Amino acid sequence: MNIAESVLQGDRLALARLLTGLENDQPQGRDALDALFPHTGKAHIIGVTGPSGSGKSSLVNRLALHLAETGGEQPAPRVAVLAVDPSSPFSGGALLGDRVRMRDLMERPEIFIRSMASRGALGGLARAAGELVLALEAAGFDIILVETVGAGQSEVDIARLAHTTLVVEAPGLGDDIQAAKAGILEIADILVVNKADKNGAESAAHTLAAMLEIGAELKPASALLENTWKAPVCLTSALNREGIAALSETIAAHRAWLRESGVWEQRAQARLEDLFNRLLRERLLAEWQRSQPQANLTDALQALHKRESSPYNLIERLFS
């Protein structure tokens, strides 16, 4: 049986190995994903982002558990978690520690957790995060929670990958002007103020809600469709298991809105185009570099080092 067939039949080791192959950009990984592609596109992708220490992993732990248990009439949804942590810029190694906070999930082997190192990507995810999500979709997971690295003000790639983006904040992290300048708030479909057990959570929630209000009023008319969803603020305490049910209802409401408004499809298309464009860029660069005589590039770089040519000038020459 080949990798794709094994993955479709629920072989978790085959899936885990496929994820490694995709991360390392191996040909077998690409071939398998090629075969699996028709089986993708059904899962609800939920992004979880926010600053270091706001409690993303603990929240994912509680949320995944809750989501996996609330099937209602239907069979319980199958839940996967993709957790990204930063790579060291010096050694290239990484300490992936999100599992420490996901103890409850580790007692539930049917919930699939994969840790991923960012490997130099700066947008809060890793280069191949999109491919790993596709593979998890094909493996039959209904809900995929994607946790970013600790994100501050501009790590917003997750908004392009997820259907629903949760931005997790905690009390005591900054004032309303910091909230106003941070791009990360703009990507929130749902804003979560976690650590509601701590002082100042209520007032942080009010401040952030007010900022979201101003943002919504200033949105251009072209964003009309997106505008019909007003990002709500949810208070949670992952520690005390409070607010998790309400958050998961809000996520369900967002999913329903995505479906009704057509934004689900828009986001799915944008995600696929992003992936296509990235793969195309990488391919073009690799092919072009291969097509150039090595001496051309070496000469060009030497001219650059000696400041005989500007980078603009060099590129013009290389393409003329």
Kindly list the residues in this chain that would bind other proteins in the complex (CB under 8 A): 12-13, 16-17, 19-20, 24-26, 87-88, 90-97, 99-100, 103, 106-107, 109, 112-115, 117, 119
Q: Reduced to 3 states, what is the DSSP secondary structure of residue 19?
A: helix
Q: Is 54 exposed, middle or buried (CB count within 10 Å of its CB: 0-12, 13-18, 19+)?
A: buried
Q: How far is the CB of 99 from other proteins (least distance, A)?
A: 5
Give dist(CA 207, CA 210) in Å, integer: 5
Q: How far is the CB of 243 from other proteins (least distance, A)?
A: 24
Cβ contact 235:206 at 8 Å: no
Classify strands 190-193 and 164-169 as parallel, antiparallel or unpaired. Answer: parallel
Cβ contact 149:124 at 8 Å: yes
Q: How far is the CB of 291 from other proteins (least distance, A)?
A: 21
Cβ contact 47:161 at 8 Å: yes
Give dist(CA 211, CA 180) in Å, integer: 6
Q: How far is the CB of 117 from other proteins (least distance, A)?
A: 5
How does 132-160 read in b/e, with b if 16+ C-beta sit within 10 Å? bbbbbbbbbbbbbbbbbbbbbeebbbbbb
Q: How far is the CB of 103 from other proteins (least distance, A)?
A: 7
Name which of 137 and 169 has its Cβ closer to other proteins.
Answer: 137
Q: How does DSSP classify residue 98?
A: G
Name which of 30 and 255 has its Cβ closer to other proteins.
Answer: 30
Name which of 185 and 238 has its Cβ closer to other proteins.
Answer: 238
Name which of 26 and 261 has its Cβ closer to other proteins.
Answer: 26
CB count in 10 Å sphere of residue 269: 10
Name which of 91 and 320 has its Cβ closer to other proteins.
Answer: 91
Give dist(CA 232, CA 247) in Å, integer: 10
Name which of 56 and 114 has its Cβ closer to other proteins.
Answer: 114
Name which of 100 and 318 has its Cβ closer to other proteins.
Answer: 100
CA neighbor of 64 nearest in space, from 46, 40, 85: 46
Q: How far is the CB of 105 from other proteins (least distance, A)?
A: 10
Q: How far is the CB of 29 from other proteins (least distance, A)?
A: 11
Q: How does DSSP classify residue 157?
A: T
Name which of 126 and 187 has its Cβ closer to other proteins.
Answer: 126
Q: How far is the CB of 101 from other proteins (least distance, A)?
A: 8
